A and B are shown apart, each in its own frame.
Chain A
């Protein structure tokens, strides 16, 4: 009964705070990822990547297709990102305007792939709920430069995990993200399947995570320009 009272009285901001802390709980994470881009005619393009994360640091290395093999992306903060292009043999700084661009021709923007910080950027309100989920409306905090004017997020009640997020510009639904196949690995939850639908383009990208490992003690020197350039 006491638990029920707490759950009933929980606010939207408390829920996204729990979501953030759950998503950011592991010290580090590494995984291989298959990305499948499907256009409106059903034509598919696949990409394989290896990803390392630690706090705000992220390193992504492209394994296939051949045209992207060896390309590396390093993010150290929102304003400090680098890309390594093997054809130029050069690590190049990229500015944060790139966050508006799609990430390597997928339906995810660089921003969408950023670390979970809903609490820092958004105010959340519970707009409906049922036995298993809350539906939250997220609006940007004053002064926060977000690409969307509103998010509609569905959160699982039992574990505070995101089920879906809808991204709006004005009142127009632009994208919808679905997260499923959650698996508990080393005591941390991880969605093995993430789908991003671009509603306007009738286009979607599926990310399938494999070999997910948490808390492997990734050293900081993985997240350096020196390592980004390593083949």
Chain B
């Protein structure tokens, strides 16, 4: 622990006063719909962040500690390992410097492992493609993993220009089970080689027109989700990562006091060759050869979009509704030569109401349409705020509808959860 503290504080000793903060979030989720209501193995989280510097030069360093309060012992030898009894991972979350008015006025430079959040929508951001998404915890859906990048921003009156370079590729963090995204790909994976030509870059230009904030963006990089390289009966599946270009547009503003926002992203994947290893049999049924047949898994451009609005009604009743076409993990993928699946359509919403000073009630819901199939999920939640910096929330998740949909596939997984969060 002393070593961690030293590592954490040392870089800031160069600056002086360090503002240290963070949070501890612990919780338990149980599948009430399954026999004996087993726990859902979601990690607890401790994040520690330090910031220091002056208005022109600032440094940020944070660590994310994910720990489980259950053991992963599979062998008696594991009983002598504290890591097995109490699994823990410490990850450098962010580490970057930020320089304002770098070389010239109104030019900012950020270098390091950082989160660059693009988009105006609430959690469902199709234009937010700089950092890979973190799907390891369904309750923090929409979180992304900070990655190493260089960001240059220039501001001129109502205009802002951002240019980002990402030297190395980082894939998305997938869940440890198939609950959230259906089938988890299993097989060998090949990351893009560590070469400068495998870097990514992005640009965004933002302004305000007719009292609406809007921006146009372009991303040239990699899809963060694995795409099959080769599949077949007689060989292990292998996965790679596909180059893609994304053109984006977003806006936010208001009409008649109603908050409005939207994002549109047009994804253009490079044609990606997938080999289907097809066995050839003799008359006795023995495999005499394996013939790789080239096909495409991702080929055609597709789009994802979010359109949303929010409003506060009398008695402090807040409503937020979004239409979403395509989740982060959905693609237009080819099945065979002439069929493809498209991203699904969703309505996501929530109603919030403060019951007392320290008690808030939220009813969230997701409706999904996929072809002729429909599903919807409801998540009622109560949040209790007994003291400053402390929140306790409890809720329930249940899905209804057709199993041919993503959410309908979770019908059996009724979940009850309780979470404690302390900020410092």
Q: Which residues of A are at the interface with B, using a C-beta cutoff of 8 A?
A: 39, 45-46, 65-67, 69-70, 79-80, 88-90, 92-98, 100-102, 105, 201, 203, 221, 224-226, 230-231
Q: What 7 additional pairs, Cβ within 8 angstroms, besides A93-B261, A97-B312, A230-B58?
A: A39-B357, A65-B388, A93-B213, A95-B311, A97-B257, A97-B259, A230-B55
List 10 A–B pairs whose Cβ atoms lie within 8 Å, in order of A's numbering. Answer: A65-B423, A79-B211, A79-B254, A92-B120, A95-B258, A95-B260, A95-B310, A225-B160, A226-B153, A226-B155
What are the 4 A-B residue pairs with the smallest beta carbon separation, nearest first?
A: A95-B259, A95-B254, A93-B252, A65-B388
Q: Report the minimal beta-carbon distance from B261 to chain A, rounded to whole angstroms.
A: 7
Shortest distance from the beta carbon of B115 to any chain A beta carbon, whole Å: 5
Is B235 part of the contact surface with A, judged by Cβ < 8 Å? no
Pairwise interchain contact B58-A101, C-beta atoms closer than 8 A: no
Q: How far is the CA of A66 from the CA of B213 in the complex (A)?
A: 30
Most buried by A among B108, B254, B316: B254
CB distance from B23 to the nearest CB of A (A): 8
CA distance A79 to B252 in the complex (A): 12
B60 at the interface (CB under 8 A from A): yes
**How far is B120's CA from A88's CA once the two chains are assembled, in angstroms?**
12
Question: Taking A93-B213, A226-B108, A231-B60 as contacts, is the C-beta distance between A67 and B389 under 8 angstroms?
Answer: yes
Interface contact A67-B423, CB-CB below 8 Å: yes
Chain A residue nearest to B252 (CB atoms) is A93
Asked if B34 lies at the interface with its beta carbon under 8 angstroms from chain A, I say no
Instruction: Check: B138 CB closer than 8 A to any chain A CB.
Output: no
Counting CB contacts under 8 A, is B424 at the interface? yes
Q: How far is the CB of A62 from chain B (nearest CB, A)?
A: 12
Given contacts A89-B115, A93-B252, contact A66 B261 (CB under 8 A): no
Q: Which of B160, B211, B260, B314 contacts A80 (CB 8 A)?
A: B211
Q: List residues of chain B with CB within 8 A of the CB of A224.
A: 155
State A226–B258 Cα separation when bound (angstroms). Answer: 24
- Kindly provide the distance from the CB of B197 to the nearest chain A CB, expressed in whole angstroms: 29
Q: Annotate B259-271 by CB proximity to A: 1 below 8 A, 0 otherwise.
A: 1110000000000
Is B21 interfacial (CB-CB < 8 Å)?
yes
Pick the residue among A90, A95, A97, A105 that contacts B117 (CB under 8 A): A90
Instruction: Please count the residue pairs between chain A and chain B whose beta carbons lie under 8 angstroms apart in the complex.
Output: 78
- The chain A residue sitting closest to B312, CB to CB, is A97
Tell me the smallest distance from the CB of A88 to a CB of chain B, in Å. 6
B243 CB to nearest chain A CB (Å):
27
Query: How far does the Cβ of A2 sit from chain B's closest Cβ, in whole Å?
Result: 48
| Chain A residues within 8 Å of B155, by CB | 224, 226
Q: Contact between A69 and B253 (Cβ–Cβ < 8 Å)?
A: no
Q: Are A101 and B316 in contact (CB under 8 A)?
A: yes
How distant is B419 from chain A, measured CB to nearest CB, in Å?
14
Chain A residues in 8 Å Cβ range of B312: 97-98, 100-101
Which A residues are in CB contact (< 8 Å) with B254?
A: 79, 93, 95-97
A102 closest partner in B (C-beta): B316
B264 → chain A, closest Cβ, in Å?
A: 17
Whether B316 lies near A100 (C-beta < 8 A) is yes
| Contact in complex: A89, B117 (CB < 8 Å) | yes
Among candidates A45, A96, A203, residue contacting B257 with C-beta atoms closer than 8 Å = A96
B367 nearest CB across to chain A (Å) = 24
In the bound complex, CA of A89 to CA of B62 (Å): 13
User: Which residues from A are CB-within-8-Å of B257?
Assistant: 95-97
Which residues of B are found within 8 Å of A93, using beta-carbon distances?
Answer: 120, 213, 252-254, 259, 261
CA gap between A94 and B388 in the complex, in Å:
24
Q: Quick check: B259 and A94 within 8 Å, CB to CB?
A: yes
Of all chain A residues, the one with the shortest Cβ separation from B101 is: A221
B311→A97 contact, CB < 8 A: yes
The docked-state distance in angstroms from the alpha carbon of A209 to that of B207 is: 35
**If the complex has contacts A97-B312, A100-B312, are A203 and B108 also in contact, measured as CB distance less than 8 A?**
no
Within 8 A of A (CB), among B308-339: 310-312, 314, 316, 318
Contacts of A70 in B (CB 8 A): 21
Name, among A80, A93, A226, the residue most crowded by chain B CB atoms within 10 Å (CB to CB).
Answer: A93
**Closest Cβ–Cβ distance, residue B126 to chain A (whole Å):** 15
